[in-house]
Structure 1
Amino acid sequence: MRSCWFITSICISIFVTSISGLPHFFPNVSAIPPSLIPNAIEGAWTSFQNFTGCHPGQKVDGLAKLKRYFQYFGYINNNASTNCTDDFDDALEEAIKTYQLNFNLNVTGELDAPTMEHIVRPRCGVADVINGTSSMNSGKRPESHIHAVAHYSFFPNMPRWPPSRTDLTYAFLPANQIEDSVKVVFARAFVRWSDVIPMTFTETASFSTADIRIGFFSGDHGDGEPFDGVLGTLAHAFSPPSGLLHLDGDENWVVNGSPSTAYAAVDLESVAVHEIGHLLGLGHSSVEEAIMYPTISTGSRRVELASDDIQGIQYLYGSNPNYNGSTAATTQEGDTSGSGSHLAGRHWSQSVLLAVGLGLLMM
């Protein structure tokens, strides 16, 4: 998100007046109305598939919209308004090459099928490139693609919560009327991080005084980063210590179990764990198995921290003394009970710097 590293607070009235209806939560895939099935092929960026095969030198109707996509995520200078034409110019070619490097694709500078498949995926609204500096693979040396090398990143100047703030509170926007089943999902998402760092997260009823404020919004909600309806950008969060986490209220959020690719539905916990990583100071990672990877496909569930996530967050905060050093071999899960029973006794709880700390030491 372009503004997330310099906005530190937003007036509470903006939250309240920006609500357009209530969020769409479904306990499981079978609870989603059949009328929503067609939406699976009607995401915010589905029309970009029409540009598959385009290459430098062409002029294609609507290509300016794709340029604005690359502007939004930092790949094209946000002030370069003159570049937003339908011409496949040098700026677009360079943006595509950087994108392909970031997502470990063949660097062709063309809109080939694998590149387009990544572009249209639902994703986090936080930018991959900030002030011309990428938080992902494009800024790393070729040998850094070795699996053992970290690809985590931080926000500019490496903001983090002060060492004295080890017990953070969080609250939900009252107007969203969040049910207990949804709160359990967020509690579980916070635990994913507090399991590995010496920090706890406790829900509070006071939205105005909470360290972390969570809200679901539709469209333009006052922070300069409007949501775009079903799929597209799913959520965004601000760097420490702002504590702001915004999710798109128009998404079809699945609370328990894996969503289905037949629906335009998104796993809530997967997105919550990712955005909490931003709240704690992590940028995006090029490791596709990592929680901090920017995209997630419909029908996917990714909730377990990967080694890359753990290395990054422990560089900022150190290790939870109870952490045993184990990590999941994969971050994909097929299902979940949604019971939150494993929370008992465990309420432990982007210019972006590249491969800092342990990652640099291992290069």
Structure 2
Amino acid sequence: MAPIEQVNHLAFAKSYHKAYGYFRDNEDDDMESEIRKFQESYRLNVSGKLDHEMIKTMKQPRCEVTKFKFNEVTPGKTDTVIWLYSGNHGDLSPFNGPSGVWAHAFQPTHGRLNFDADERWSNIQPTTTDQVDLVTIGLHEAAHILGHQRCQNPNAVMFALIGRAK
């Protein structure tokens, strides 16, 4: 990179990393470590150096992370309710035990997300063959609450068959 281009890219990288939470404050001393984390996360060449591949990746459109706040509340006084049920639980979509239907959610106007209590849930990656990935399934079902439908891309979180260990 040319010197002026390096300065512009460095300023861009710093603002990007601060905006998306890679840097807590002004951590110039630890920038190499943060660059390495970014490169690992995006499966780039991990050099710890700001390079064209990294800048190109940072300039791609990305999903924003919403900072949801979760509080335990009295049912009926919230927009979304998350429940853990076994079998028939009164919504005409009973759970059928382990390795069946893991969870289901309802459109935004209902705001309910139900998980099957009979599954062996795990938030540890990777899951084993007898576990169900709580984070992926929860994300998929939460997207339904927000109004998203299933898609045909088998690599997408909204694909119908997700969460099983491979």
Same fold (TM over 0.5): yes
Is 1:237 matched with 2:90? no
Q: Give the SS at the match of 1:201.
A: coil
Q: Take 2:91 and 2:141, find their aligned partners in 1: how far apart are those partners? A: 16
Q: Would you say the 8 A contact 2:107–2:146 is kept in 1?
A: yes
Q: Take 2:107 and 2:125, find their aligned partners in 1: how far apart are those partners? A: 29
Q: Would you say the 8 A contact 1:207–1:213 is kept in 2?
A: no
1:229 deviates by 0.3
| Residue equivalent to 1:219 | 87
| Residue equivalent to 2:118 | 250
Q: Take 1:268 and 1:198, find their aligned partners in 2: how far apart are those partners? A: 18
Q: Take 1:268 and 1:226, find their aligned partners in 2: how far apart are those partners? A: 19
What percentage of aligned pairs have identical amino acids?
34
Q: Take 1:207 and 1:276, find their aligned partners in 2: how far apart are those partners? A: 20
Q: Would you say the 8 A contact 2:84–2:115 is kept in 1?
A: yes
Change (3 A) 1:286 1:198: same
For structure 1, list consecutive stretches of 5 or more residues without a partner in the other structure.
1-194, 301-363
1:202 deviates by 1.1
CA offset digits 1:150-174 (Å, max 9, x no partner): xxxxxxxxxxxxxxxxxxxxxxxxx
Between the two proteins, the alignment pairs up a number of residues equal to 104
Task: Give the TM-score normalised by structure 2.
Answer: 0.58
1:258 deviates by 1.3
CA offset digits 1:3-40 (Å, max 9, x no partner): xxxxxxxxxxxxxxxxxxxxxxxxxxxxxxxxxxxxxx
Is 1:269 matched with 2:135? yes
| Residue equivalent to 2:69 | 202
Query: Structure 1 residue runs of 4+, over 3 Å off?
Result: 195-200
Change (3 A) 1:297 1:200: closer
Could you tell me which of 136, 147, 160 is aligned with 1:294?
160
| Residue equivalent to 1:93 | none
Root-mean-square deviation over aligned CA pairs: 1.9
Q: Give the SS at the match of 1:202.
A: coil
Change (3 A) 1:297 1:276: closer
1:200 deviates by 4.4
Q: Would you say the 8 A contact 1:255–1:269 is kept in 2?
A: yes
Q: Would you say the 8 A contact 1:204–1:210 is kept in 2?
A: no
| Residue equivalent to 1:110 | none
Letter in 1 for 2:159: Y
> With CA pairs under 8 Å and 6+ residues apart, which has the higher RCO, 1 or 2?
1
Aligned runs of 1:127-142 on 2, under 5 Å? Answer: none
Change (3 A) 1:205 1:266: same
1:255 deviates by 2.0
Q: Would you say the 8 A contact 2:136–2:163 is kept in 1?
A: no
Q: Take 1:198 and 1:274, find their aligned partners in 2: how far apart are those partners? A: 15
CA offset digits 1:36-84 (Å, max 9, x no partner): xxxxxxxxxxxxxxxxxxxxxxxxxxxxxxxxxxxxxxxxxxxxxxxxx
CA offset digits 1:328-351 (Å, max 9, x no partner): xxxxxxxxxxxxxxxxxxxxxxxx
1:265 deviates by 1.2
Q: Would you say the 8 A contact 1:216–1:246 is kept in 2?
A: yes
For structure 2, list consecutive stretches of 5 or more residues without a partner in the other structure.
1-61
Change (3 A) 1:282 1:199: same
Q: Which has the larger radius of gyration?
A: 2
1:297 deviates by 5.3
Aligned runs of 1:59-138 on 2, under 5 Å? Answer: none
